[in-house]
Amino acid sequence: MINKGSITLESERLTLRKLKETDAEEVFKNWTSDDDVSKYVRWSTHKSIEETKEWLKQEEINCKSKNYYTWGIVLKETRELIGCISAIFRQEEDRYEIGYNIMKKYWNNGYTTEALKSVMNYLINEEGIKKFICRHAILNLASGAVMQKVGFKYVKDGESISFDGTKRYKTKIYTLDK
């Protein structure tokens, strides 16, 4: 497998680029501090910029490994950092798991769909990755809609527990094979 990592990707309205520790203030303000964004995901709302800084520091380290991709999503029009998208190899499933978050102000503008198409195109055609998995909380219909629009197919129901163990929720699991 070729491995160029989380290189910068361009789509019509978005630039996808590596996240940096110095993005902490903008990331915290735009989505990691928002309970509505963290409601259906495995991470919990960040209580301080420091927490976001720690997460970004860890992401920078993780992205150096060949099984781990994360991009910040930048809106070309305003240059705002509006969210993130990742693909992380899961040994248990032998697949890359896709995850994404967008700041609330920009929901339902097609940005995640556009970012995911760009990421899938890169991972499949340039990195040679063939197997993907994606899961969403049953009530998180918008997330399911994104997966379906990009070609993921529902396979089964599951259950997820947040990283800190405080949230447990039923999920729908989707896969895409090339």
Ligand X SMILES: CC(C)(COP(=O)(O)OP(=O)(O)OC[C@H]1O[C@@H](n2cnc3c(N)ncnc32)[C@H](O)[C@@H]1OP(=O)(O)O)[C@@H](O)C(=O)NCCC(=O)NCCS
- Which parts of this chain interact with ligand X (CB under 6 A)? 37, 40-41, 100-102, 107-113, 136, 140-143, 145-146, 149
Closest CB 16 distance from ligand X, rounded Å? 13
Contacts of 125 (CB under 8 A, 6+ apart): none
User: Residue 40 or residue 122: which is nearer to ligand X going by CB?
Assistant: 40
Task: Kindly tell me which of 123 and 150 has the beta carbon lying closer to ligand X.
Answer: 150
Nearer to ligand X, 6 or 30 (CB): 30
Burial class (CB in 10 A: 0-12, 13-18, 19+), 20: middle
Kind of pairing between the strands at 95-102 and 131-137: parallel
Comparison of 21 and 97: residue with beta carbon closer to ligand X? 97
Torsion sign over Cα 72, 89, 173, 167: negative
CB of 3 to ligand X, least distance (A): 25
Q: What is the DSSP code (8-state) at residue 106? A: G
To ligand X, the closest distance from the beta carbon of 171 in angstroms equals 8
Nearest approach, Cβ of 152 to ligand X (angstroms)?
11
Please state, in angstroms and rounded to a whole number, the distance separating the CA atoms of residues 71 and 150: 18
107/95 Cα distance (integer angstroms): 27
Nearest in space to 4 (alpha carbons), one of 24, 18, 23, 25: 18
Give min distance, CB of 91 to ligand X, in A.
Answer: 20
Structure tokens at 94: 């032998």
- The residue (of 149 and 178) whose beta carbon lies closer to ligand X is 149
